Structure 1
Amino acid sequence: MGDDFGRYRGTEGKVSQWLRRLARKHDDGRSSATDADAREALLLAVAAAGMPISPAAHPIGYRCSCERIGCPTPARHPISFAWQTQSTTDEAQIERWARNQPEANFITATGLVHDVLDVPLEAGSRALERLLEAGVDVGPVADSGGDRMLFFTATRGTPEDEDEWWPCELDCHPETMDEHPGFRWHCRGSYVLVPPARLPGELSMTWLRGPEHPLPDPLTLLETLTDACARYAGENHELDPHPVAWPLGR
């Protein structure tokens, strides 16, 4: 569990409280016989929130289970090339996956029910504090287990009329991750890892706010997140301090 877990006022829901209790069990050195059941319950909670998931790779030491030499996203990518059609919220299927693939991480396909606003951890931490202090309804939020924070929102990517869908310079697909070092917007055609997930180097991905929190409209978070990212970029000159955001006037 990360040191930042539970640090934000008002962020702890049922899932987050359970994670903290589990961390305490491990800190006490006691092996929990219910870890597999708990993992399954967390995955089912993600599905119950309407977010479709499918199996992903897992770490083997500092390597990825896919055994691809130089895997660019170790333990963070789907197992199947058909992940978009395979992703599901079906409880029975998720239980089968969880029990038959006990080491697997899971990804969720974005742009179907939800999008994900993916920002640097430091910028996300500042934005989350501001949003909560302002009384904004923030949805699920995850610590990526590295240097990113993920804000889960309702999607803008599946209108009934396809002519109403239009791209944005922040749209991030798996193959374009390096093009978006600051703000990334995962919508149609993309995915993100979901907690609980193990990562190389004994890192882990955890919920800061669990999936029981309703998905907000992304516009309610966008201004605060882009502002935090711009400030962060100004302090880190290798990043673009002026990302092109989804036009607010449209």
Structure 2
Amino acid sequence: MGAEYGRRSGGQGRISQWLRARRPKEAEGDGGREALLLAAAAAGLPLAPAAYPSDYRCSCSRIGCPTPGRHPVSFAWQTQSTTDRAQIQRWAEHQPLANFITATGMVHDVLDVPLDAGREALERLLAAGIDVGPVADSGGDRMLFFTATRGTPEDEDEWWPCELDCHPETMDEHPGLRWHCRGSYVLVPPARLPGERSVDWVRGLEHPLPDPLTLLEVLTDSCARFAGDEQAAAWPSRG
């Protein structure tokens, strides 16, 4: 799947149908789950076990967990994260219900946007012939664009920690966008969420990781436009 699809696309409805159709059938069952996890590790994504949904609650012992099924099991997830095939197989076999997170900022970053904005941005990027890497649908409300990490660029004094990306003072510049880099993580497909939701690949790991800056302008523009549409709907003008 590449830019040619974008040029032939019939619009938002077509891309939405395509996204739904791209849910990988090989992820069904434990064997497919393990294969996808090992493929992620082989692509260089460091993995660690995460919580999983238990009914509408989280498998962790925290009462009222604010992110059920979305967080690592261990507080040491940054040092625990690995691409070691044997270790990931042991985790998958001994924790068959567990989700997995991938630690960002080592090999890859993730640009995390609202689903509708992500769908529009993906269509525009493909139509423009821009190389897009792996993309995941996260729970039906966010879209994750996997990119190469910026790491610690030599021409910058500091790396950009993820927690700064969501602060209110940055939202005018990057409305709706979360940039997961060093010190952050996202769920890696396949993952289950409460309410029979899931995290699934839209574009798989066979696509090389692009430079995040090649996607950033289109993603921020789509986020800004959808944020503007939502504000207009919430505060209709009065005649």
User: Scaled by the length of structure 1, what TM-score is found?
Assistant: 0.78
2:217 to 209, 214, 223: 223
Match of 2:177 among 183, 191, 201: 183
Amino acid at match of 1:200: P
Match of 2:235 in 1: none
Instruction: Name 1:96's counterpart in structure 2.
Output: 90
- For residues 117-141 of structure 1, the C-alpha deviation after alignment (integer angstroms, 9 at most, x for no partner) is 0000000000000001111110000
Cα offsets for 1:33-92 (capped at 9, x unmatched): xx1111000001111111101000000000000031111110000000000000000000
Structural mapping, 1:1-250, within 5 Å: 7=18, 19-20=24-25, 35-159=29-153, 164-167=157-160, 172-173=162-163, 182-237=176-231
CA separation of 1:42 and 1:76: change in aligned 2, threshold 3 A: same
Cα offset for 1:229? 0.5
More off after superposition, 62-71 vs 51-60:
62-71
Q: 1:194 to 1:157 in 2, by over 3 A?
A: same
Greater than 3 Å deviation, 4+ residue runs: 20-23, 161-166, 175-181
User: Contact 2:121–2:222 (CA<8 Å) still a contact in 1?
Assistant: yes
Q: CA RMSD in A?
A: 2.6
Amino acid in structure 2 at the alignment position of 1:103 = L
Give the direction of change, closer, same or farther, for the CA distance of 1:106–1:22 in structure 2 (3 Å limit).
Answer: closer
Letter in 1 for 2:193: L
Identity %: 69
Distance apart, 1:237 and its partner CA: 2.1
The secondary structure found in structure 2 opposite 1:7 is helix
What is the one-letter code of the residue matched to 1:166? W
Residues in 1 aligned to 2:69 and 2:167: alpha-carbon distance in whole angstroms? 17
State the aligned residue count.
213
1:212-239 per-residue CA deviation (whole Å, 9 max, x = no partner) reads 211000011011001101101101229x
Aligned equivalents of 2:157 and 2:82: distance in 1?
26
Aligned 8 A contact 1:109 1:190 in 2: yes
Higher helix share: 2
Match of 1:26 in 2: none
> Which letter does structure 1 place at the counterpart of 2:143?
M
Quote how far apart the aligned CAs of 1:165 are: 3.2
